[in-house]
Amino acid sequence: MDLVAFLCAFLGVTLAAHGYVLLGSTILVGPLIVLGISLSKPQKPPLLLPFSFGSWFVALPLGFLTSAVFRSPFFLGLALYYYGCITLVERHARYVPWGAGLGLGWRTATQVQRPVVYWLAVSLFFTLSGILLVVALLGAAKQAA
């Protein structure tokens, strides 16, 4: 289900770039919303991608690199969405608090012990991802026009 959602997101932007903006935006947003909701439930769907904190250190540089190569924030938006999914799968979010010196001190907020910070981190990454994906979708739609 996870790989299908990411492939649908790519298909949605591609359709928007070819002039099918409404269909493309529906195909982009729908599966990503369903994946996020299904990962937040206690029973997880079967997953193909390795949703772990270690895989984030591969996804983020790839997101930056592919966004720079293709000059679109789409892949960086998917990388941020991926980290939001990691926090939902692992049930804890790792973050660096403001004023932590050089930023070398990771802190962890779990869904049980610190739910406000946990859900704040989850919503932050999904919101940033949504902004970048909408910008990419609008850029693709503008390119088609």
Q: What is the mean pLDDT of residues 22-42?
A: 92
Strand partners, 92: 110
Average pLDDT, the chain: 89
At residue 78, the pLDDT reads 95
pTM of the model: 0.90
H/E segment holding residue 109: strand 107-110
Tens of pLDDT along 111-141? 888 899 899 999 999 999 999 999 999 998 8
Distance between CA atoms of residues 118 and 27, nearest Å: 29
At residue 102, the pLDDT reads 59
